[in-house]
C-alpha cells in the first residue's frame, strides 16, 4: 500500500497513463452495480409471482400513463412498507403491505420517493367510489378540506387518445407483458366499453354526465384498480402473508410495533 501511494510510487506512474487509469476506474464502478443487479435478474422472475396479478386493462394502462404525465408520483408513493402503522393506514380491506409479485408488470415502477400526499398503492380498496375521484380531481378541496393537492379540471375536459392504445399494448407485449393479440387489436373498443361503464357509475352516483371519453375516466379506472389484485390473492389464499419474504416482514412489523 505504502509503495502504491507514496509521492513517487506506483500511483504516480498510473497518473501518467490516462487510458489505464480510465479502464481501472470503469472496472471499479461496474462491480457494485453488477453484483446487485444480476441476482435480481436471475432469481426474481421465478419466485414472487402472485396468481391474481394481471396486466392492466387498456383503459387502466391509459390512466396510469396519465398519472405519470401529471406527475402524481412526485407527491404520492405506491409502496406500503411492512410496518404496523402503514398496514393499518393503507393496508385495510385485504391489501396488506406491498409485495414484489404485484409489481411484475410495472413499467416503470411508481413507488415514489416522497409522500406529500398519502400512499396510493391500495387506493382501489380504500376508495372504490368513482364519483369521489371525479370530484376530488376536479377540485381536491371540495372533498378533502385543507388538502394542498393541485386541481385537475382539464382531465374532465380533455379526451382520451383511444387510438394510441394499440401501439402501447403492443410495445408492452414486446417487453413481455402477456397481452392477448385480441386485446391488442381491440384495445380502443375495450377501453371505450370500460370508460362507458365508469361514466354510467358516476352518473348514477349523481355526478356530471358526458365523461365517457374524457381522461378522468382512464385515471379513475386506474385508481380503482390499485391494490385489488392483491386483495384477490389474499381472498383466495389462506393468509394474506406475502410469498417468500413473509418471515422477515413479520418481524419488522413486531419490531415496529414495540417502538
Partner 1 sequence: MAQASTASAPTDMRSAGRERSNIDIFTYDEKIVRYFVYATVLWGFIGMAVGALIALQLPWPAANLGEYLSFGRLRPVHTNAVIFAFAGNSIFAAIYYSTQRLCKARMFSDWMSKFHFWGWQAIIVSAAITLPLGYTTSKEYAELEWPIDIAIAVVWIVFAINFFGTLYKRREKHLYVALWFYIATIVTVAVLHVGNSLALPASMLKSYPIYAGVQDALVQWWYGHNAVAFFLTTPFLGLMYYFMPKAAERPVFSYRLSIVHFWSLVFIYIWAGPHHLQYTSLPEWAGTLGMLFSVMLWMPSWGGMINGLFTLRGAWHKLRDSVVLKMFVIGITFYGMSTFEGPLLSIKSVNALSHYTDWTIGHVHSGALGWNGFMTFGMIYWLLPRLWRTELWSQKLANAHFWTGTIGILLYVLAMYNSGITQGLMWRAFDEAGNLMYPEFIETVVQVIPMYWVRLIGGLLYLGGVVMMMANMYMTIRSAPDELPDPAFAAPRQPMNYGHGDGSGDGTSEQAPEPAPARARTASESDPVPTEADDTPATKKASLPGSRKAEGPGTKKAEGPGPKKAEGPGTKKAQLPGSKKAKGPDASDDADDDDNEDDAS
Site residues for ligand HEM per CB under 6 A: 113-114, 116
Give yes or no for residue 37 binding partner 1 (CB under 8 A): yes
For the chain, how big is the Rg over CA atoms in Å?
A: 24
Residue 123, phi then psi, degrees to nearest 5: -60, -35
Quick count: other Cβ atoms within 10 Å of Cβ 132?
17
Report in angstroms how near the CB of residue 138 gets to partner 1 at its nearest: 13
Give yes or no for residue 136 binding partner 1 (CB under 8 A): no
CA distance 181 to 173: 9
Of 116 and 251, nearer to ligand HEM (C-beta) is: 116
Quick count: other Cβ atoms within 10 Å of Cβ 79?
18
**Diameter over CA atoms, the chain:** 83
Spacing of C-alpha 113 from chain mean position? 12
Candidates 56, 59, 99, 195; binder of partner 1 (CB under 8 A) is: 99
Candidates 49, 51, 54, 115; binder of partner 1 (CB under 8 A) is: 115
CA distance 170 to 198: 25
Candidates 46, 108, 239, 258; binder of partner 1 (CB under 8 A) is: 108
Candidates 54, 142, 164, 181; binder of partner 1 (CB under 8 A) is: 164
Give yes or no for residue 171 binding partner 1 (CB under 8 A): yes
CA distance 151 to 120: 17
Q: Work out what residue 41 binds among ligand HEM, partner 1, none; the CB cut-off runs from 5 to 8 Å by kind.
A: partner 1
Rounding to the nearest 10 degrees, give the CA dihedral for residues 80, 82, 87, 93. Answer: 80
Of 30 and 236, nearer to partner 1 (C-beta) is: 30
CA distance 232 to 235: 5
Q: Work out what residue 46 binds among ligand HEM, partner 1, none; the CB cut-off runs from 5 to 8 Å by kind.
A: none
Q: How many Cα atoms are found within 13 Å in the side-chain-facing hemisphere of 168?
A: 21
Residue number with the shortest CB distance to ligand HEM? 113
Candidates 52, 93, 94, 107; binder of partner 1 (CB under 8 A) is: 107
Q: Work out what residue 22 binds among partner 1, ligand HEM, none; the CB cut-off runs from 5 to 8 Å by kind.
A: partner 1
Of 83 and 179, nearer to ligand HEM (C-beta) is: 83
CA distance 45 to 228: 22
Q: Work out what residue 256 binds among ligand HEM, partner 1, none; the CB cut-off runs from 5 to 8 Å by kind.
A: partner 1
**For partner 1, how many residues bind (rule: CB under 8 A)?**
96
| Of 16-24, 127-135, 184-192, 200-208: span binding partner 1 (CB under 8 A) | 16-24
Amino acid at each position: 500500500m505504502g509503495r502504491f501511494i507514496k509521492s513517487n510510487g506506483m500511483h504516480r506512474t498510473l497518473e501518467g497513463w490516462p487510458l489505464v487509469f480510465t479502464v481501472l476506474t470503469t472496472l471499479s464502478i461496474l462491480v457494485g452495480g453488477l453484483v446487485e443487479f444480476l441476482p435480481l435478474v436471475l432469481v426474481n422472475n421465478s419466485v414472487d409471482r402472485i396468481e391474481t396479478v394481471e396486466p392492466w386493462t387498456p383503459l387502466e394502462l391509459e390512466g396510469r400513463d396519465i398519472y405519470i404525465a401529471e406527475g402524481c408520483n412526485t407527491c404520492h408513493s405506491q409502496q406500503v412498507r411492512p410496518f404496523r402503522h402503514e398496514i393499518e393506514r393503507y393496508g385495510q380491506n385485504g391489501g396488506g403491505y406491498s409485495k414484489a409479485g404485484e409489481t411484475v408488470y410495472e413499467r416503470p415502477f411508481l413507488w415514489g420517493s416522497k409522500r406529500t400526499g398519502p400512499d396510493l398503492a391500495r387506493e382501489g380498496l380504500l376508495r372504490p367510489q368513482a364519483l369521489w375521484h371525479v370530484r376530488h380531481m376536479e377540485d381536491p378541496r371540495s372533498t378533502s378540506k385543507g388538502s394542498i393537492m393541485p386541481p385537475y379540471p382539464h382531465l374532465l375536459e380533455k379526451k382520451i387518445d383511444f387510438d394510441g392504445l394499440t401501439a402501447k399494448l403492443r410495445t408492452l407485449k414486446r417487453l413481455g407483458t402477456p397481452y392477448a393479440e385480441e386485446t391488442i387489436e381491440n384495445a380502443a373498443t375495450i377501453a371505450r366499453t370500460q370508460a362507458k361503464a365508469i361514466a354510467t357509475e358516476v352518473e348514477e352516483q349523481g355526478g356530471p354526465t358526458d365523461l365517457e371519453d374524457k381522461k378522468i375516466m382512464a385515471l379513475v379506472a386506474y385508481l380503482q384498480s390499485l391494490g385489488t389484485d392483491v386483495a384477490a390473492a389474499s381472498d383466495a389464499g389462506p393468509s394474506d402473508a406475502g410469498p417468500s419474504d413473509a418471515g422477515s416482514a413479520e418481524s419488522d412489523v413486531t419490531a415496529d410495533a414495540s417502538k
